[in-house]
């Protein structure tokens, strides 16, 4: 049976620990007890961990042996902020799909109340990403940054820079993300509800981004983000 994976809160030599709510979940839901084994991720490495002690708010492990881990594609998702419940769903699912970074973006059409509240949501978004990383057996969760403005996002270090636009665009995402085109990683920008403004699209174009579409239908922001991430991740896995 496949062992559950957890990302360690503390690591010291060949010992690790889960603490706080993280540990309480293991004790309460999985009935953790001394001697049980789980996969424990520690800063990119993964070990078979054996529980040595269980107490309130703390579960300690011996790291018995290192085990192989899969390599994830280098994908940065620049995600314009939209309704928080739907955005959280995107963060969870795109973490499962393997994104390396999630960059919340305050776009021109981002609701002003959401923009104002977004900085206070970062810790929650990071927690959601961590939980999704553990569920999908990743060694590390994606980085979730503080919200930024468009000007700060225009010049990333990546081979391929893609912005999703309305379906009037003639270039399809599937035609752009050939394996040979994304060997150095990809950055994918997804707009807010209502889409990017013409001014924003011009800024992307002037910075060298490729404007693409997912097809003829207009998708919700959350649908577009997940679908586009799946297409890019599939191409990168093909390398």
Residue burial 106-135, b: 16+ Cβ < 10 Å; e: rest: bbbebbeebbeebeebeeebbbbbbbbbbe
- Cβ-based burial of 227 (10 A; exposed 0-12, middle 13-18, buried ≥19): middle
Among 42, 45, 36, CA closest to 16:
42
Percent residues over pLDDT 70 in the chain? 95
- What whole-number distance in Å separates Cα of residue 166 and Cα of residue 44? 37
pLDDT at 239: 44
pLDDT of 123-167, one tens digit each? 999 999 999 999 988 888 999 999 999 999 998 777 789 999 875
pLDDT at 21: 86
How much is the average pLDDT of 23-41?
89
pLDDT of 168-218, one tens digit each? 567 888 888 876 666 668 899 999 988 999 999 999 999 999 999 988 888
- Judge: domain 5-66, CATH 3.40.1010.10: no
Decide: pTM greater than 0.75: yes
* Domain residue limits, the chain: 5-66, 75-237
pLDDT band at 120 (very low <50, low <70, confident <90, very high): very high
- Judge: domain 75-237, CATH 3.40.1280.10: yes
pLDDT of 41-93, one tens digit each? 988 789 999 999 998 899 999 999 998 877 777 899 999 999 999 999 999 99
For 170, the enclosing helix (H) or strand (E) is none
Long-range (24+ apart) CB contacts under 8 A made by 202-208 are 203/150, 203/151, 203/154, 204/154, 204/163, 207/154, 207/155, 207/161, 208/161
How much is the average pLDDT of 24-38?
88
């Amino acid at each position: 049976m496949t062992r559950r994976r957890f990302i360690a809160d503390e690591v010291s030599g060949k010992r690790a620990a889960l603490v706080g709510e993280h540990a309480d979940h293991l004790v309460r839901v999985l009935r953790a007890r001394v001697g049980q084994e789980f996969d424990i991720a520690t800063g990119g490495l993964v070990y078979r961990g054996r529980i040595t002690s269980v107490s309130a708010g703390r579960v300690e492990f011996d790291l018995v042996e290192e085990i192989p881990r899969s390599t994830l594609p280098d994908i940065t998702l620049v995600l314009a902020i939209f309704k928080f419940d739907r955005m959280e769903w995107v963060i969870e699912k795109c973490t499962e799909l393997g994104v390396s970074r999630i960059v919340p973006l305050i776009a021109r059409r981002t609701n002003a109340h959401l923009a104002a509240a977004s900085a206070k949501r970062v810790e929650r978004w990071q927690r959601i990403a961590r939980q999704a990383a553990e569920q999908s057996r990743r060694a590390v969760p994606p980085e979730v940054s503080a919200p930024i403005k468009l000007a700060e996002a225009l010049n990333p270090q990546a081979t391929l820079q893609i912005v999703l636009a309305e379906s009037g665009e003639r270039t399809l995402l599937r035609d752009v993300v050939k394996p040979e085109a994304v060997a150095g990683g990809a950055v994918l920008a997804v707009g807010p509800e209502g889409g990017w403004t013409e001014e924003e699209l011009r800024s992307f174009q002037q910075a060298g981004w490729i404007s693409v579409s997912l097809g003829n239908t207009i998708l919700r922001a959350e649908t577009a983000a997940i679908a586009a991430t799946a297409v890019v991740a599939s191409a990168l896995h093909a390398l």
